[in-house]
Chain A
Amino acid sequence: SPSRWFVCSLCSSRRQLWTYSSPSMARTPKTRNTPLAGGIMKLSKSVMHKKAGRWHRPKKVVESQKAAAAPAPVVKQIGGEKNNGQRTILPKGPKFYAAEDVPKPLSKIRAVRPTRLRSSITPGTVLILLAGRFRGRRVVFLKQLPSGLLLISGPYRINGVPIRRVNQAYVIATSTKVDVSGVPSLDKFTDAYFKKPSKVAGKKSEEEFFAAEEKKKEIAPERKDDQKLVDESLIAAIKKVPTLRQYLGARFSLRKGQKPHEMKF
């Protein structure tokens, strides 16, 4: 396996080559070249070209590079005795030629995919929320949504945290796992399910503006049903582990002398 540390053969100084959690994540290519010192390789580009057999590989033709087929000339039949019967009409060229070189825009090669999920976060992991309304609560991770946010549930009956979305960055993953094999299909929980309805911005009358906002947030009965559906199996699994229910009901906080970077979660 490749060593994380590059040791300079001249001065014995060490440099960390990559900071991935596992060597397999570093996409080091298998090269038949050897590093000398300071990032300089033994064999040059042209030598490697021959050695790796790159001259031998067929060139990949990119679709965009293929010149657009020139439109075929149109052959039109025309009347008149002396008009040769037909005319070949060539396609007209562009009406505009740029005076200066038009800069080519940079290529946009970006695959849209959800945020890379930390390897410590798997379905059933107990997470500690660090920010937001439910900071300090220990919740159960269910799945990652296409937007990259994490779908979590308290469960609600244990700690008051409903089925919710949470950002991975504001979460500590503990090594405690809850058995989520009994949880029903979570397909109905998408980003659209949680998206807040957009407020229609309209002009408010004076009375409306000064009226006290006493609207109580009503939770749709479907949400409550979904919560019950998911939590039933979660709580059943939690009850099987002694003191896990109390653990999830308790809040996390740092005590005196505790250093998070030295703690194991």
Chain B
Amino acid sequence: MPFHRFVEIGRVALVNYGADTGKLCTILDVIDQNRVLIDGPFPVTGVKRQQIPIRWLALTDFKVHIGRATRNKALVKAFNGSAITTKFAQSAFGKKLAAKTKRAAMTDFDRFKVMLAKKKRSVLINQELAKLKKAQAKK
């Protein structure tokens, strides 16, 4: 099984640990085997330029075309040019993350409404299933 996501210059990653948890960042430079230099860019994602252990990152499918340790202005241009934020939100990873945060932010009333919706959905599914079973039995 080949790898598709690499720790490389321009790779967009999600910070999984530390103060910037949940934010996207771009890998600008590799420091050593365990650490990389990242930047949000700060005006776009809120992650300041810093070194970070690779263990704290979750790599995404996206890559930005930049040179080594690009400065802020060029980085913002490249990042926004590739529309990374919207692309990530539309990706499976991004959608799952959004669903997770939404679920965590549910209030007691929301949970109740979800329960009602799930019940309705299962009723519809079971009705269809019953129809299919009936059709099958007739054959």
Q: Which residue numbers of A lie inside 8 Å of B, CB to CB?
A: 126, 128, 138, 172, 174-176, 243-244, 246-247, 250, 252, 262-265
Binding site secondary structure of chain B: helix
- B residues 106-129 touching A (CB-CB < 8 Å): 106-109, 112-113, 116
Residue of A138, A176, A244, A264 contacting most chain B CB atoms (<10 Å): A264
B113-A174 in contact (CB<8A): no
B92 at the interface (CB under 8 A from A): no
The interface residues of chain A lying within 8 Å CB-to-CB of B137 are: none
Q: Measured between C-beta atoms, what is the minimum distance from A176 to chain B in Å?
A: 4
Q: Which residue numbers of B lie inside 8 Å of A, CB to CB?
A: 104-109, 112-113, 116
The interface residues of chain A lying within 8 Å CB-to-CB of B113 are: 243, 247
A175-B107 in contact (CB<8A): yes
Instruction: Knowing that A246-B116, A247-B109 touch, tell me 9 more A-B residue pairs with CB under 8 angstroms.
Output: A128-B108, A172-B108, A174-B108, A175-B107, A175-B108, A243-B116, A244-B109, A264-B104, A265-B107
Query: What are 21 sample pairs from A and B whose C-beta atoms fall under 8 A apart?
Result: A126-B108, A128-B108, A138-B108, A172-B108, A174-B107, A174-B108, A174-B109, A175-B108, A176-B107, A176-B108, A243-B113, A243-B116, A244-B109, A246-B112, A246-B116, A247-B112, A250-B112, A252-B108, A264-B104, A264-B106, A265-B108
CA distance A264 to B104 in the complex (A): 7
Residue of B104, B105, B108, B113 contacting most chain A CB atoms (<10 Å): B108
The interface residues of chain A lying within 8 Å CB-to-CB of B108 are: 126, 128, 138, 172, 174-176, 252, 263, 265
Kindly report which residue of chain B lies nearest to residue A241, judged by CB atoms: B109
B112-A243 in contact (CB<8A): yes
Binding site secondary structure of chain A: mixed
CA distance A246 to B108 in the complex (A): 13
The interface residues of chain A lying within 8 Å CB-to-CB of B109 are: 126, 174-176, 244, 247
Q: Measured between C-beta atoms, what is the minimum distance from A252 to chain B in Å?
A: 7
Kindly report which residue of chain A lies nearest to residue B106, judged by CB atoms: A264
Kindly report which residue of chain A lies nearest to residue B111, judged by CB atoms: A263
Kindly report which residue of chain A lies nearest to residue B107, judged by CB atoms: A175
The interface residues of chain B lying within 8 Å CB-to-CB of A252 are: 108
Q: Measured between C-beta atoms, what is the minimum distance from B117 to chain A in Å?
A: 10
CA distance A264 to B106 in the complex (A): 6
Kindly report which residue of chain A lies nearest to residue B105, judged by CB atoms: A264
Kindly report which residue of chain A lies nearest to residue B115, judged by CB atoms: A250
The interface residues of chain A lying within 8 Å CB-to-CB of B105 are: 264
The interface residues of chain B lying within 8 Å CB-to-CB of A264 are: 104-107
Kindly report which residue of chain B lies nearest to residue A174, judged by CB atoms: B108
